[in-house]
Amino acid sequence: MSINFKQIEEKLKSEATKLLEEGKVGVVLAYGKGYDENHPLPFVARKASDVENIVFNEYCTANMARYIVRYPRGTKIAIAVKAADSRAVIQLIQEDKVKREDLVILGIPAYGMKNAKTGEVVDSKTTCGMYNPVIYDTLLGEEVHGQSVVSPYDVLAEYEAMDKEARWAFWKKELDKCIRCYACRKACPMCYCDPCFIDQNKPKWGEKSPESHGNLMYHLTRFHHLAGRCIDCGECSRACPVDIPLYLFHKKVAKDCEEMFGQAAGMSIEDKPALVNFRVEDSDKILE
């Protein structure tokens, strides 16, 4: 069985038309035409006539959950989500950024998505590696079964084998490349702070020009702010123009959080964000 992208696109269009015509939602967050087929763009359909511009193909990697927080609370939103994107939606619901009843979730089961920049297949190396959305109202295709499931943390083996010095050198080298375009922050569904700490002047938490210290301050704090919240969609790394493997750090933190608090980000609306939820039985490992 392979994914029939065209069929999903048709279903997406018909669902979007129906929802908009019936007035059930104000906006549909999906994908639209880019300058060529390999570069679809995030797209918002506001009326039924917008729907014809919706596309869906293997290059539609963007996480549309990113755009939920742009709309005022209470806006009725339909959103097309793949597996990781659905986890972002759940995480946003947990954080009370959006209410479940304000969302119509159009789930897309998919594999074999491709990185528009490199043409490589996007898999568990850079994402959570899941195939089916965790939460949805309508599933726009058949659930994917039979594909091999690989732990999203396997890719960490090589990194975890490094000693402290090697890790430091690795990240120093990678983060020194950063040109502070903030594409990672723009692509991230969980980076909704306005203002971002790094843009603040009083206190000035870090240097704003692209230099070693400021880069470290920005990225390390961002990693920390995403601890227990990153749903491993890998968009930050795909958005990065200088190819910093941000997903590696996020995966490492996610793994630690999962081990310590027994929950992965964005897997259940019932969960509470791990780092701001106190439970008596929580591990004290973090204090050691």
Partner 1 sequence: MSRIGVFVCHCGLNIAKTVRVSELAQFASTLPDVVVAKDYKFMCSTPGQEMIANDIKEHKLDRVIVTACSPLMHEQTFRKVLENAGLNKYLVTIVNIREQVSWVTHDIEEGTAKAKAVLNGAVYRARLLAPLTSRVIDVNPDVMVIGGGIAGIQAALELANTGKKVYLVEKNSTIGGHMAQFDKTFPTLDCSACILTPKMDAVLQHKNITMMTYSEISEVKGYVGNFDITVKQKARYVDHSKCNACLACTEKCPGKGVSEWDEGLVKRKAIYIPFPQAVPQKPVIDREACTYFIKGKCKLCQKVCEQKAIDFEQEDSFSTVKVGAVIVATGYDLMNTKPLVQYGYGKYPGVYSALEVERLFNSAGPTGGKVTMRDGKEPQAIAIMHCIGSRDKNNYEHCSRVCCMYSLKFAHLFKEKTSADVYQFYIDMRAAGKGYEEFYNRIIEEDVKFIRGKGARVAESVDEPGRLIVEAEDTITGKFIQLPVDMVVLSPAMIPRSDSKDIARLLNLSTDKYGFFMERHPKLAPLSTMSEGIFIAGVCQSPKDIPDTVAQANGAAAEALTIVVKDKMELEATTAMVNPASCCACQNCVRVCPYGAPFFNDQKGVSEINEALCKGCGLCASVCPTSAIIARHFTNDQVLAEIEGLMEF
Given a contact cutoff of 8 angstroms between Cβ atoms, the answer to whether 31 and 59 are in contact is: no
Which residue among 18, 33, 114, 225 contacts partner 1 (CB under 8 A)? 225
Stretch that binds partner 1, among 53-61, 196-204, 238-246, 253-261 (CB under 8 A): 196-204
Displacement of CA 160 from its chain's centroid (Å): 23
Alpha carbon distance 226, 125 (integer Å): 19
Measured from the CB atom, the residue of 48 and 196 that comes closer to partner 1 is 196
Residue closer to partner 1, measured from CB, 225 or 252:
225
Within 237-266, which residues bind partner 1 (CB under 8 A)? none
Q: Verify binding: residue 157, partner 1, rule CB under 8 A.
A: no
Task: Scan for tokens 């009843």, then name that residue.
Answer: 101
The SS3 of residue 127 is coil
Distance of closest approach, residue 225 Cβ to partner 1, in angstroms:
5
Dihedral of CA atoms 196, 202, 205, 208 in degrees, nearest 10, equals 70
Residue 177 in contact with partner 1, rule: CB under 8 A: no
Among 183, 196, 220, 253, indicate the residue that binds partner 1 (CB under 8 A). 196
Which of residues 129 and 266 has its CB atom nearest to partner 1 in the complex? 266
Listed ranges 45-53, 89-97, 114-122, 141-149: which one lies at the site for partner 1 (CB under 8 A): 89-97
* Residue 77: both structure tokens together: 């939103």
In this structure, what are the phi and psi dihedrals at residue 99, rounded to the nearest 5 degrees? -100, 145
**DSSP conformational letter for 200:** -
Among 7, 38, 151, 200, binds partner 1 (CB under 8 A): 200
The runs of H, that is alpha helices, within the chain are 5-21, 83-94, 157-160, 164-176, 183-187, 212-225, 235-239, 246-261
Please report, as ranges, the residues that interact with partner 1 according to CB under 8 A.
73, 95-97, 192-197, 200, 202-203, 205, 225, 272-273, 275-278, 280
